[in-house]
Amino acid sequence: MLNSIEEFTYEYGLHLKNINGTPDREHGGNIFGFKSMGIYIPGEDIYVIGLSNCNCHSPTDITRNIAQITLDELRTSARKT
């Protein structure tokens, strides 16, 4: 939260986002033709990292998709028990 009361969704290099309403922390980057994306879901202690050895493809979408599938599977398993 900024002094102006405006919500700012960036914190120490982390983007504060959510996957289907579940808060997550995301950080990506690139250097020398490589790209990366990390997504952490603190409420479930899930961390997914996507790496690409090509500067032409960002791993962001697939990393978010894997995090969402993992979250969905975890919740489905919890309902079955």
Question: What pLDDT score was predicted for residue 1?
Answer: 60
- Euclidean distance between CA atoms 59 and 49, whole angstroms: 9
- Euclidean distance between CA atoms 56 and 41, whole angstroms: 27
Strand partners, 37: 28, 50
CA 78 to chain centre: 22
| Bigger pLDDT: 67 vs 15 | 67
pLDDT band per the 50, 70, 90 thresholds, residue 40: very high
Residues whose CB is less than 8 angstroms from the CB of residue 32 and which lie 6 or more positions away in sequence, other chains included: none
pTM reported for the whole predicted model: 0.79
The encoded tokens of residue 5 equal 């009361």
